[in-house]
Amino acid sequence: MEKTISFELRAINNQIKRRINSLQVLQENEVKGIYCHVIGFLSDNADKDVYQKDIEEHLSIRRSSVTSLLNSMEDCGLVERKPVNGDGRLKKVALTQKALEIHDCIDCEIKRLEVKLREGMSPQELKTLFSLLDKIRTNVEKTD
């Protein structure tokens, strides 16, 4: 059977998710792998006001999924939503002290995984890979 892009990307994604979910820091703190992406995004944007919509765009997931994700993270004590003056519906999303304390360890492990994923690839191969992934993303967006 001929390989398909969708199957290969899904298989690789599943392997990466399993690897991230098995990180000791996540196990010790009962943190799910997807939380790492939100924690990293919020940490990288700590100097800005971040709202749910920003997380939706960054992760390319639907509003309802982000709502559920943030509710779970709030229950775990990793994020808090703070009201914005003048708009009761709008809430800023911020990391809690607990998330800040585990962020550095998570960040280190994610960087270590990234190094492993890039192993054996030349700078030109990486450039080509990212270019092809951008094309795939664009093609998927066109199908919506």
pLDDT tens, residue by residue, 56-106 = 999 989 999 999 999 999 999 999 999 888 777 788 999 999 999 889 888
Q: Is the confidence at residue 19, as pLDDT, over 70?
A: yes
Question: How many C-beta atoms surround the C-beta of residue 20 within 10 A?
Answer: 19
Rounded Cα distance between 126 and 107, Å, is 21
pLDDT digits (tens, 9 = 90+) for 27-50: 888 788 889 899 999 999 999 999
**pLDDT reported for residue 134:** 95
Phi, psi for residue 140 in degrees, rounded to 5: -65, -40
79, HSE (Cβ side, Cα atoms, 13 Å):
30
pLDDT of residue 71: 94
Per-residue pLDDT tens digits for 98-135: 999 889 888 898 899 999 999 999 999 999 999 999 99
pLDDT band of 144, cuts 50, 70, 90: low
